Structures are given as structure tokens and as C-alpha cells.
Structure 1
Amino acid sequence: MTNPKPGQSLSHYRLVEEIGQGGMGIVFKALDERLGRHVALKTLPHGVTDDPERLRRFQREARAIAALNHPNIVTIHSVEESEGIHFLTMELVEGKTLDALIPPGGMALGALFDAAVPLAEALGAAHERGIVHRDLKPANVMVAQDGRVKVLDFGLAKLWKEDVGAEPGAAPTRTVTRGSGIAGTLPYMSPEQLQGREVDHRADIFSLGVILYQMATGVRPFKGDSAAEITSSILRDTPAPVIELRRDLPDLLGRIVRRCLEKDPKRRYQSALDIRNELEEVRGEAGEAAGPPGQGGAIVAGRSGGRPWLVVAGAGAVLAMAAAFIALRTSDREARPTLPPPPVPGTSGPVVPGQESARPAAGASIAILPFVNMSDDKENDYFSDGITEELINALAKVQGLKVPARTSVFALKGKPMSVQEIGRTLGVDTVLEGSVRKSGETLRITAQLINTADGYHLWSESYDRKTKDVFAIQDEITQNLVRALRVTLDPEERRAIQKTPTSDPQAFDYYLRGLKVFHLAGRRNWESARQMFSRAIEIDPKYALAHAGVADASSFLYMYADPAEPNLQQARNASARALALAPDLAEAHVSRGAALMLSKEYAEADREFETAMRLDPKLFEAPYFYARSLWAQGKLERAGEFFRQASVLRPEDYQSPALLAVIYRGLGRAADARVTEERVVAIVRRHLESDPDDVRAIYLGAGALVETGREDEGLKWCERALAVDPNDASTLYNVACIYAGHKRRDQALTLLEKALDNGFAQIDWIEHDSDLDPLRDQPRFKALLKRLKK
């Protein structure tokens, strides 16, 4: 018998379109012509319909499932037959499946709770009626356009599983494969299902734990490249705690997930309603960071209604951070969790843009303070700074350890602060101080670990070696710190911190020199950094990090200083080489993603950023540049989610919240934008205390000041930015945008002309930036556009 097609009628149901197909039959959107409503119509597979006894049993049990009446369970309307085709009709849910709404880094807390609470409640209601799902997974959970959660195929997995191609007495694992591939259900199956043992409602609780883990982190807890590897992982492995993968999650949420994933059913929750109640408790304790039900954290899966192009620039100041993307559009096809509002400072919850300090994480914490250069040659600062950064990067790979980022600790360099003050400022229990003396081939490094509470030394060591031993010294320091802090490393973490990027100390030296000038920013510094990284590659052609450095320097030159094709091509070539040499290097994936983003190859770029986040969940650049890529595509809601995630990883960063404020304004959320801009001003003020000449911070702060009503101060900051770097194209352009909106048209035009003279060539910005609208009728502006188009 042939399968039905759209346009055909079965009884009084006219098939409108096919909306799904798989081993459990074909699903159509159908019009019930008697009641004038649309339904989901699912045909039954031949394995069920060919045997009369199996069909009767299916019909009887499907009617029992249809008796479920719960707002979060899709209703089965009928079990029918027409022209020899047996089918179910069910409630039609317009929306997205949950798996389409889980971003790589995990869902915002509000969205997570808005999905998890009703999901657990639906399970509890079904379990009370003696009905077990047996195939719970994100693809079987729908989120309607209004945010309501609906569970699909409740209890039907057992009916199909018993009747599709199974031999009598076959173990359930027979049914989780289709052909030679792995069905999506396998990673969500409980150990007792995989072992063919008797299954009850606690199997669903295990599956719910897998889903919660994925919602919280963006990854599944049990992994493998084959069915056998995944099965082995489920039966034997203990997944990393979710709070180690994502530090803003409440501890109680981690305990809920862990208990759901117990191998022994007796050790799991015995009721899904208990899970539901504990999730509500966590949501209450998380407070405004999680968002109240149906508001900031609500998940919305509907269409956007075709929003027009949004030209947003936040007084133009954020344009330099936007990597040459101004025209923004929200896609009709995009599944967009609602971006939560900025939490109130002081509430418990994740670090948000502008909060004064990072939320202290449970467990060990350490700040690696900048090592002091004790060499006679002060030019050796690059080496001591590089050692510091290498130690930060190594320890940041340990998931149970809180390590403030480079920007946080280097902001304190040279400040006369006690270890107690540093501990309070950075939210850490210990600090590592050190010094480096480099003279020719001789190297002396000292390091000491100090408790910030009382100033006592917990460990100290001196190393007198040759420069060729620098990698061994770094490894010894790292291992000693891990032991002193009583941190347990898993094998993967141990390999990560022991891995040396190059075996050649001279190549490493040039790499550190490049790193030093790269962080100084600006055209000359990026060009110099590229030269240093290239010199490292000449010495060690297989130095993947150096190739990534060449790519990054070239990308930044293309973005901010010289948008010439050779720069972009060098970024593409170098990033591709870095990945070829080290496919597991998260930094290389970010470098490749940035180059592809600048080439407007967004789908490929996004895959690189997602891979980087999986490889290193603590790498700030991965969510930050992913957000920029999403923003360039007009996916404002999702971009905002990843700017928030970047802010959690690096709370002292001013760029992520500045861009988040622009997104809020583009979405018409002026109040949220203002709150975020106030925090940008606070972050920038603190940042400028330690780095008063950071021109990007100055003009971003200027834009935020102007947007929040402090026009006089904002305009003074514009003058300050121009004084610091009067020839920087991005500075000239951004200050011009601020001036244009504040009746300084002649000055704005002069700055725009000077920006073009200094290499600014982003015609899309100038053509579409709404901040420049007051200039468009000016002859000088028209002449400027004409000059650009030549």
C-alpha cells in the first residue's frame, strides 16, 4: 500500500503538508473538515497494522494515552482507519522542538526553567496514570509559539517499539538503531533500557536528567562515535558536573541533574513531581537572574512576523566592535529564546554586564598575578607577561577551578594592593605571585601561592634553569598548584595542561613577543605581532598557536585598520593551517571562525565557534565572536544570549555589554538598554583607572554616557578619545557618529573625511548607519559617499 500524499483526504481529514517522517510513521498537518480545525495526523507503520492482534492492542493502549488531560502533554484525539490506512490524530503544535532551542553554550536560566518545570510536571502527571514515555528526548518536546511546552508521543514508544521489526523477546537495544546509523534516542536511554531490564517511570527520570544536562550546558552528558561507545558511556561514565561546565548555574540545579542521572534507579528521584518542585525552588532562589515565568526567561518559538531591517549603532560608538556589520535583520525562520532583561546588581545569579565583580564559584579559586620582570633588560617584560598568560591558560582548562582572565589580573599590574584587597577585588581565595629573571640562556623563575584571607604562603619554589627548560618549569608550577589547591584532574585535563604548543624555546620566545604587542592593539602593533608570529612559524612550521596568531592579527587588521583583501586572505590561510595542525585547539577554531565571519560565510563560521565552545567552555573569545556572527546575520536574540555568556566568562569586559545594549535598543527595549549602558559606564570607568589610554573603552563609554543623558560628559570623552589616538579610523568614525546626532555636523563630516583618509572603507556602515542620518542631505556627505564608491 502506498503512503498518503499532501492533497489527499483520509476520511474527513484533508492532508495539507508533510511535517515529519521516521520509523514511527509519517506526520501530516491536516484539516479536520468536520470541526474546521487543523490537527497533526500520524500514519501507523506497517509493522503495527499488518497484525490484527497487535493493532487491537495498539488501539486499546493509545486510547488509554488519549485519556491523559494535561496542558503540557499533546492530546491524542482519535485512532482511525480510512482506505486501509490506520492513523492517529493529535493536537497540532505550531512551534519548535526543544532541541532547536538549545544553544551550544546552554540555555539562559529563565528559558531553562520555563521549559524544565512544565516538562517535569507533564512527566509526573503521566506517571501517576501508569504511563511511561520510554523515548523522552528534546525532539519529542515542542515549544509552541506562545512559549507553552508540549510533550509528544507519550507512551507511544513502547507501542511502536514492540511492533516494528522486533523479534519476540528481543532486547530493547535492537530498536534504537535504524540501518547502520544511531537513532537519536540512544543518548537519552537509561542503563536499564540498554541492558534489556524491566523499565518503569524512573527510566523517564534518567532521560529527563540527560535533557536537563543538555539544556544547561548545550552538550549531552554521554558521548561516543558509535552506538557501542555511547552505550558504554551511559553504563559506566560519570559526566562532568554541569556547574563545572557553566559557572553561573545554581549549585542545587547541578545536584538535581546529578541525581536524575544515577545509574541505579533506586538512587534517582522516585517522582517527577519532586523534580518539578525542586526546580521551582531553584528558580525562586536564583531570583531575577532566572526571570519570572512567562517574562524574561520565557521561550518563544514563533515567527518574528518579518521584522524590517534594523539599523542600530548606539550613538555609533559600538560600530568598531561590530566588525563591519550594521544592517541587522531578525530572520523569520529563526528560533529565538526571549533575551532576558539585565538582572539587578547584587542578586544571586550569573555575572552580567556591568556587575562589579565575578560571582565567587564553589570550590578552589586562584588569580595568577603578572609575574615581575627582574631582568636587567626591561624589554623582557614580554617574557614575564607571557609566562603569566601561559599559566592562566593552562589552569583555565581545569573545570573545577576558578581562574580570573588575563584582562582582570593585568588591570592590577603595578598597583599597590595587598593580597587581601586583590582577593576581594577578583573574588578568589588564593593568588600566585612570581618573578622572572632572564639573562641570555639562563632563566630564574620564582613562584609563591598565597592565601588571600590571611596572607600565609601555601607553597613556594624557585627554578634555576636554562631557557630551553621553560616548558618544564611551567608544567611543574601548574602541577604544584593543582596539588596545593587539592584539585582533582581527569585524564583529559591532565593531558591539556601538560601539552606543550612547541618544542622550540626560540619559537616560543617569538610567540610571546607577538602576544605582547598584539594585546597593545592598533595597526602598527597588529602588524608587528603578525611579524613575530610569522618568525615563530619559520622556526617551528608546526606551531599551531603561532598560525592562529597570524590569523588573528590579520583579522584585526582587516576589521579595524586595513580592510584589504590580502589581510582577509592571510587570516583564512593561517587559520586553516592552524586547524590542520591542531584540530582540537579551541583557539584555532575561533581564529578560523573569525576569518569566515569576515568573509560572510556565516554558517561555517558558526560551526567553528560552536566547536570551540565545546572544546573549551571557558574560552571568552568563542561566545563573544559567535555573538558577533549571529548579530551580523540579524539573529539579535541569540546574539544577546552569547554576549551575556561572554560577560559571565569575563565580567570586566566592556565590549560585550556595550553590544548587548545596542541589541536591546534594536529590539525596542529602551529600559533594558539603559540599565546595561549604565553598567558599561561603570565598567569603563574602572577600566580606565588602570588603562587610561584605551581608546576603544573611551569612545564606547562616551556613547553609553550620551545614551544615558550625560551628554556633556560624553562629548568630553569624545574629545579625550581623539586626543589619545587622533588618526585611528575607528575612533574617528565612532566619534563622528556621536557628533552627528548632537548638532556638530561640520565636525562630524570632518572626522568622517579623516577616517576615510586613514583607511576606513566600510561603505555599508556609512550608507546604513542611522546615526549619520542628520548628515545625509549635506553636500559634503554626498561627496564622501561618491568618493567611497569609486
Structure 2
Amino acid sequence: MAAIIPPEATRAPDVIPGRRHPEHYELRARLGEGGFGEVYEAWDTRLQRSVAIKTIRHGGSTRTDLVREARLAASLRHPAFIKVHAVEDDDSGQFIVMELVHGRTLKQLLRDAPVPLATALDWVGQVADAMRDAHASGLVHGDIKPSNLMVDDDGRVRILDFGLALRHDALATETVSLGSSASAEQADPQGTIAYMAPERLQGATPDPRADVYALGVILYELACGTRPFATLHGLALAAALVQTSSDGWDYPDSLDTRLIALIRAMTARQAEQRIGNMDEAVRRLAELTGKPGAAAPRVHAAPAQSLLSRRAVRIGAGAVLGIALLGGLWWQLAPRVGALTQALVPYSEAVEMEQGLAALKLLDLPGSLENAETHFNRILERSPDNAAAAAGMSLVHALRYGSDRQDETWLRKADADAQQALKLNDQLALGHIAQGWVRDMQGRWDDALAAYGRALHLDPSNFFAWYGKVEALRHARRYPEARANIAEAIRRFPHERVFLDALGSVYYEQSDLRSAEEAFRRSIALQPDAVRSYANLTTVLMRQNRNDDALRVLQQGLQVRPSANLYSNLGNILFRRGDYVGAAEAFENAVSPTRGAPGSYLNWANLGDTLLWIPGRSEEARKAYDKARDLLAEQLVRSPNDVLLVSRMGLYAARSGHADEARKLIMRALTLAPMTADVQFRAGFAYELLGDRKQALAAIAKALRLGYPVKYVEAEPDLVALRRDPEYHAN
């Protein structure tokens, strides 16, 4: 759906001129329709500006779909993408408020007259430049075509309608259905067939190479004056695109052979033979136009009459950044505001700090930590003794340690940064917060809570202090205090989903699975593009033996973005179904340096468990267990009384044949937490591996009485002999 004003815009016949719909927006002209709704020009009576409003048809997408689309669009930083101002809803439905842009689509321009080749190369170069930014964030457009590309009054190409955008993931599945109707719209509900890559027409999930193909077809159309197989429609067009190669398309004799080679490389029928990313397309387009090197992302100035004065821009940027720190949809605008202020506003430590902290709150989105690090480093390069920036760097390193890229080096760096921040200024709340995050990750929860107490004394409304405090209380298993503080945090920060995740985790750890599920579902509704919430909900559903529901949620999460936790959950589901080869592939993704968390001991242990059941892979299993034990040993040094770590280490020791070490660790875990179901199950599992059936039966029976799911016991292949023991059924 386009946020544009085409020349032929008409008054919507079902809208009364001057009527406010909804609330403070006056609808004016209908600009277009397609997909799931309509777009109108509107006047925002509060901010006194023209906007575009995308409405959702009755029976169309849900509010979650709408918010997802808005978040996807708002997360894009390149100026070629339409800006999202807000997501609103009222009794009439939901709608997105967007930037209103004047211009014409490439479809309209191509219909009117041939496009000069230099102009065509410039337009395609602009699109490639913008799409490489989107691909770097994990986003795929999936529907690039001339009607979704607009040239504004300044000659800039704008990319429209990210409503079909997907987070690319190789394990996601999607089918493109081609009906029998001759209508292209009916035959291809996911986009225009003429610009769809052959693999998409055969049911493949969109990935960056599909966007490269679509842009290559547009380049052909601009350069040659027609699109391939222009006379074919529906299934005939789809068949032609699937069965033929772009090497055989007709090219004018006057066309530069380098340009023909580029079009063929972008539109190769086999995806693996195609240009694999937009970086290469940008580079080769730059060579054709005689520009040195690859084009860098551009920030274009808006028309002079629409710009505020430099003084006004500085004030406005600060105001928007203040809003960004409050959360909600404005979280997604923080990176965009950052790019704008860097271009228009002189360097300011205060602005850099606000942008860095705003980026930290987006920790679940790709590039957020790198973005925050850039802002804090910019300060430290000019002011090495800036305590706030040092504390910010500590938070970046701590979050990196807790992310899919977990590595002990990050935690040590976070500790050093926090120490430096407090040395420079011990009255800075952020310095104490940084110290608290480090102590929490080191398992020193009393010290962490003391640090958060000092931070909240200095700044009672600090989001990061509240988040750190509730997490430390949860980790320390002080659940009543954790729930009370989470309730207060939700009251203070109603739009921050991390507190709902913390609440769900508290309920899960206390075996209140229904309440945990409700909390995680509320978290997803609040921020549908946060994969951590999908992973949490999947875990809860698996624990309730609702594996089909878990798979559906897991698939939704993988479509948003790859995640080690999601891959691990997928591996567990497949393992319990007896699909060991599929489970191994999922766990290998979970420990992958590019797609998972190679610093997670649990993922390596899961991989070891799975490889044991695949012929010829026992040596790989042993290496996976050794990796898990090495990673876990580092954490046990810091947190010797963390019962979950101790019990897991005992089980892994039993797995790898270290019997004495295993018995010692299991006894220690049972002493620390005798009434914890997971600990009793691991103890029973370890005893069975060590050949002590009597103690294994006793521990497993106690785990079941404490609420451990019987299906988890029955799905574990290593417990087959135990389950056949009459004593198991007697208990």
C-alpha cells in the first residue's frame, strides 16, 4: 500500500469531507487501495500536518498483523522507506499513520514515456542501496515491482508497502498458490508474478536473492522499454518465468554489454547462480554509471520549504528522542531519528547518550547493540572520561554476553567498563545499573540488588534499573518480591514488553504454566517482532505437551528472525518425536556462529544428546559434551551455588563418563534444591546413566510428584530400560 499522492487521486465517495476519522484525523482524498486495505490523504489536526492513513478492511489483517507491518516499516532506517508516524485504533478499526509523499510510481512513469538510461540506472541504484540496508537487518520486501516504487518531487525513489515483508529464515516454510483464474491479482495473492523469482513461483520462501531478481526485472524493463513476456498472464507467465532463462530474453543491440551481463546476473533462473546480495548489485551499478566504488547510504535533504530552521530541528530532535525513551511504537523510530539528527544536528553528548540508550531498549532487534555502541564510542572518542558513556558501553557488553553471541570476554569487558564508570562518577545511576547487570550475570544477586537500590535512589524512574532489579530477584528465586516489583514496573512502563517476559518467566519457574502462557502472549501482542517472546511461549507450550501449538508459535518466531532459542526449541520438539536427524540440524543451527549461540553450553549439550542417536556420530557427540562442560565450568566458578548449573553439570559429567564428578555434583544439587522437579529429573537421569537404577527410580518418581511432565520422561530414549522396570510403574 502506497503513502503517495498520485495525480489521479479522487475524493473517496464514502467519506464526508471534513469528517474526523478517526479521532483527530480528517480524511480527504483516497489515494489507492490494494492488499489488505486502503490509503487516504488526511489532515492531522493536532500536529497540523498532512499525513497518509492506511486503513484495514473489514475481515482483513488483525491488529497484530498491523502492528507487525508498522514495526517492520519503522525499523527501516534508509530514507528511501516511507516513515511511520504511529499506529492507531478506534471503534472503526486499526490504521497506520504514515508520511505523506508527493510523487508518481514507476508504473505510472513507464506508462507515459521511455525512461533515459542514466535515470534508470540511478533509480535502480537507489533501490539497491536501500534494500541492502533492509537485508542487513534481516528484512526481505518480497513484493518489489514498479507500482511499489515511487519517484518523489525531488527525484528520490521511495520504496512502498513493506506489508508483505518477511524476516528471512531458511527453515521457514511458505507456499505460493497459483489459481486457475486469468486474473493476475487472483492468481498471485502474494505479489505480481512478472517480478517474482522462479523459486518463489515454485513455493520457496522469499529471501534477499528474490528481491535481487525483482529489481533485475525492473532494470530490464527500464532499459528495454518492456518487461519479459509482456503479453503473457497468469499461469502462462508463471510457466515462462520458471522454465526459461534470462539469457534468452531480447536485448536491444545498442545496450551496453556490461548492463546486459548485470541484468542476467540479477535474474538468473537458479537462485544459487544469481547475484547473492544487494551489495554486489550496488557495486556493479556504480561501475556502469562511472561512480567510484559502491554507493554509500544517502541522506537526502527535504525541500527547503518543509524544513524547520536549524535551531528548530535541534529542539525537535531532542523532543522526539525523549518520546523514544518511553517505549511502544516510538522505539522503532529511534534509529531513524538517529540518522536524521546525525545529518542535521551538530555533535551533542546528550543527544548521543539518548540515542544510545534508546537503541539499547531495542536489544531484540538486529543491529541495536552495534547502534548503541556507535553512539557511546562517539562520546568516548571525544571525552574518554565520560562516565555515562562508559556505563553505556558496560550495558552493551553485558547484553552482548546475554545474547546469542554469548562469550565470557563480553562479561569481563562489561565489568571493566562498570568499574571505570563508577570511578569517574559514583553518583551516576547508570554506573550502578551497569554494575548491577554485571553482578547479576556473575550470580552475585545480593550485590546486584544493592547496586540497583543505589541506582533507584538516585533515579527512581530509570527503566534499566527496574528491569535489572526484577531480573535479579527472579534469578535469586525471590519470587514474591519479583512479582511485586514487576507489577510496579508494568504500572510505570505499560508499553515495555520485557516486564511481561519477566512475569512469564517467574510463573514458568514456579510451574504456573497457564499464567506464564498468558504473560508471554501479552508480550507478543505488545511487540510482535521480539523473537525472545516467541521462544518463551514455545517453551511453555512444550512443557504443557502442546507441541502442535508450540510448532506454530515457533514458526511465527522464525519468520520474524532466526534465534538460537527458537532453533533449540525446534530441536527439542523433533527429538521427542524421534526425528533425530532433523533435531541435530536444528541444534547445529542453535550453536552456529552466524545463526545461533555458540557460547551456550545448553545448546551444545542438546546437540550431544541428539548426535548419540545417529549412527557414526558418537565422536561428534563427545566433542559437543566436552564443549558444553567447558562452557559450563566457567559459569560454575562464578556461581558455585546455582543449582540449575550444578545439576546440569552433573548430568553432562555422567554423559561423558566422569562418574565420580557426576555423583558429587548431583548430590550437591539435591542438597541445594531437593524440591525442584528439574533437579530431581536430572539426578534420576544421571543415576540411570551411571547404572544406579534404584536411585534413578526414586529421583524420577519424586520429579513426577513435583510436577515434571511424564511425557518428557517417556520421550527420553536413554530412559527406555528404566521405563520397562516394574518399579517405575509401581511408583
- If the TM-score is normalised by the length of the shorter chain, which range does it land in? 0.3 to 0.5
Higher relative contact order (CA 8 A, sep 6+): 1
- What TM-score do you get using the length of structure 2 for normalisation? 0.44
- What TM-score do you get using the length of structure 1 for normalisation? 0.41
